[in-house]
Amino acid sequence: MRISDDRYSRDRQRFDVALRFIRHEARTHTIRTWTGLSDDRIRKLYRSYMCGPQGGSLTRHRGKSPQQIGFFTRSGRARQEAALLASLCRLVGAMPESQAPELARALPSLGRGELLCQAYEAYRGLVLEPLISFEHAVFLLTSLVRGDELTLAGCPDCGASLIVDRWSLRAPRCAMCAAQPEPLEITPPPE
Ligand SMILES: [Zn+2]
């Protein structure tokens, strides 16, 4: 009895996460990787969602998932939004503390998929016209956890979260601090 209950709730969770991914216009490949559902079941779920009241506004994306980390560093706004999303991922627990390629490979799971949706939904709620699609959010999280190209760091002047190219030679500062003519002298508060 217990086993079938567990199995039922696991299947339920699988469908819930897949549905959230579908709402965020994730690709079939991404949904399969994170939920373990077969392409056939994803297609059926997708069709039944499209027939529902919210289905009409959905765009189905085909082709490859994003692969260019330059997307997150191409402009100040992209960097800022990527840093916000990454901070939210860290805050809800979708992003592990450490970075390693094997951690990135082990990322896709139901539990982490739920947390990623939570972070992404918070990001969409905070940014008026968000630049980052859900597929890009998956890619950002994976790249940051892999840690070989991008990393989440703090601005040395103000401590704001920053997306940093691992191999960048310039010491990275946030847009606000970079706009200052001179670095701010921070005087420590009196003891
Ligand atoms: Zn700063």
Domain ranges of the chain: 2-52, 69-166
Closest C-alpha among 169, 175, 16, 181 to residue 81: 175
User: pTM to 2 decimals?
Assistant: 0.86
Instruction: Quickly list H helices, the chain.
Output: 2-23, 28-35, 39-50, 76-92, 101-105, 110-126, 134-146, 175-178
CA of 122 to the centre of ligand 1 (A): 23
Report the C-alpha dihedral over residues 138, 142, 144, 146, rounded to 10 degrees: -170
Q: Is 66 helix (H, G, I), strand (E, B) or coil?
A: coil
Q: Which residues contact 147 (CB under 8 A, 6 or more apart)?
A: 99, 100, 101, 104, 166
The per-residue pLDDT for range 36-86, each reduced to its tens digit, is 999 999 999 988 888 877 766 677 776 777 889 999 999 889 999 999 999
CA of 177 to the centre of ligand 1 (A): 4
CB count in 10 Å sphere of residue 187: 6
CA of 172 to the centre of ligand 1 (A): 9
pLDDT of residue 25: 93
pLDDT of residue 71: 94
pLDDT of residue 96: 94
pLDDT of residue 183: 53
CA of 93 to the centre of ligand 1 (A): 24
CA of 81 to the centre of ligand 1 (A): 15
pLDDT of residue 139: 97
Q: What angle do CA 86, 94, 3 make, to 5 degrees?
A: 165
CA of 159 to the centre of ligand 1 (A): 6
pLDDT of residue 124: 97
**DSSP type of residue 130:** -
CA of 54 to the centre of ligand 1 (A): 41
CA of 189 to the centre of ligand 1 (A): 19
| Sign of the CA dihedral with 87 first, then 140, 169, and 76 last | negative
Q: Is 61 helix (H, G, I), strand (E, B) or coil?
A: coil
CA of 184 to the centre of ligand 1 (A): 9
pLDDT of residue 1: 52
Q: Which residues contact 12 (CB under 8 A, 6 or more apart)?
A: none
How far is CA 38 from each of CA 24, 42, 66, 113, rounded to the nearest angstrom? 19, 6, 22, 16
CA of 165 to the centre of ligand 1 (A): 16
The residue ranges of the chain whose pLDDT is under 70 are 1-3, 55-57, 62, 171, 182-186, 191
How far is CA 37 from each of CA 19, 33, 47, rounded to the nearest angstrom? 11, 8, 15
CA of 50 to the centre of ligand 1 (A): 44
